[in-house]
Amino acid sequence: MTIPKGNYPNTFYRVSIKAIIRNEKGEVLLVKEDGGSWSLPGGGMDHGETAEEALAREMYEEALITDTFQARIIGTHPRFVKDKQAWMLWVVFELDMPSQFTYGKGADADEVAFIDPKSFKQSTTVSERLVYKWCVDRTIQVI
């Protein structure tokens, strides 16, 4: 495939695949990377990957998940990331996991834990507010 060259400022997004995985208590599996705040597990799609391939790879890299899962897209969230000077598009999936699945701290995570997403309602960090938005109240605005 030949990719046309051109200058398209402000039209390119880094696509980040994110996953909501709930346990029986309604808590959501979250990760911390690089000493940052809590976020949904996931990350950037690599060129040529399908969304399903990216989900499987990211779930392993961050949470050591190798179990088969069903995924359905529930929405998207575009935002400008100031420290990277780039647009990012979150594509958020809800995952149906087997009743018993294994997870742990993957190579790309500092911490992995199930946490009540309601605890982030008053958070001042964007990633934690996005956890609240996608897991509790999709009507709120997060910039």
pLDDT of 8 > 60? The answer is: no
Residues 6+ apart with CB under 8 A from 60: 66, 106
By C-alpha distance, which of 84, 93, 90 is closest to 142? 90
Please give the pLDDT value at position 6: 54
pLDDT of 27 > 60? The answer is: yes
Q: What is the largest CA-CA distance in the chain?
A: 50
State pLDDT tens for residues 80-113.
888 878 889 999 999 999 988 999 999 999 999 9
CATH number assigned to the domain with residue range 13-135, chosen from the 4 options 3.90.1170.30, 3.60.20.10, 1.10.287.950, 3.90.79.10: 3.90.79.10
pTM strictly above 0.85: yes
Domain chopping of the chain, boundaries: 13-135
pLDDT of 1 > 60? The answer is: no
Question: Where does the pLDDT of residue 3 fall: very low under 50, low under 70, confident under 90, or very high at 90 and above?
Answer: very low
State pLDDT tens for residues 68-84.
999 999 999 998 888 87
d(CA 105, CA 125): 22
Mean pLDDT value across residues 11-38: 92
pLDDT of 46 > 50? The answer is: yes
d(CA 70, CA 91): 15
